[in-house]
Amino acid sequence: MRLTLSATALLALAPTAAFAVDYMNAEQAARQLFPEAERFETREWLLDTGMLQKLVEQGLKPRSAATGSHVTARLAWRGKELLGVLVADQVLGKFEQISYAVGVAADGRIRGVEILAYRESHGGEVRLPAWRKQFVGKTQAAPIQVGEDIANISGATLSCTHLTEGVKRVLAVFELARKGGMLNAV
């Protein structure tokens, strides 16, 4: 018996394309966003109920129950001077998680946003430097909202929106940490 498959049948049997791409890890992002840093200190921040409530009051969506109150921060130091903090996080794109990192200078201004891993089949344009550059220099006082001070990318609306919300949340967590004394040298 001879089996003949058409080109369409072969395509249907072919494995689906893998869209997941890891671009860098959080340590690499920290070195890229804080190249003048002499050392990085990893700290685990535990956000108490009051801090989480403050985030909700600012209209920020809480993270997942598993990670909502824990934040891993990498403090960038040059000698005894705190240069800033890098926080790696994840948001849901359309169907899959997008891993990203935000570098925040000690004065509360965003130094940069890096996409660590992108797993969606569409919307990868959020990795383009021109789109990510829109966040640089923004503080918590900025709207940081798609359609206001952050441009949307057609075909990547959910990725743009969710990443923007995530960056805004990281900036708010940084401000809570700063006010709560979590940035002090140990």
Q: Please compute the mean of the pLDDT values over residues 75-98 and round it to a whole number.
A: 94
Residue 153 pLDDT exceeds 70? yes
* Residue boundaries of the structural domains of the chain: 17-179
Residue 53 pLDDT exceeds 50? yes
Residue 152 pLDDT exceeds 80? yes
pLDDT-derived band of residue 121, with 50, 70 and 90 as boundaries?
A: confident
Higher per-residue pLDDT: 19 or 64: 19
pLDDT of residue 62: 64
Residue 118 pLDDT exceeds 50? yes
**CB-based contact 88:40 (threshold 8 Å):** no
pLDDT of residue 50: 85
Residue 30 pLDDT exceeds 50? yes
Rounded CA gap, 182 and 186, in Å? 10
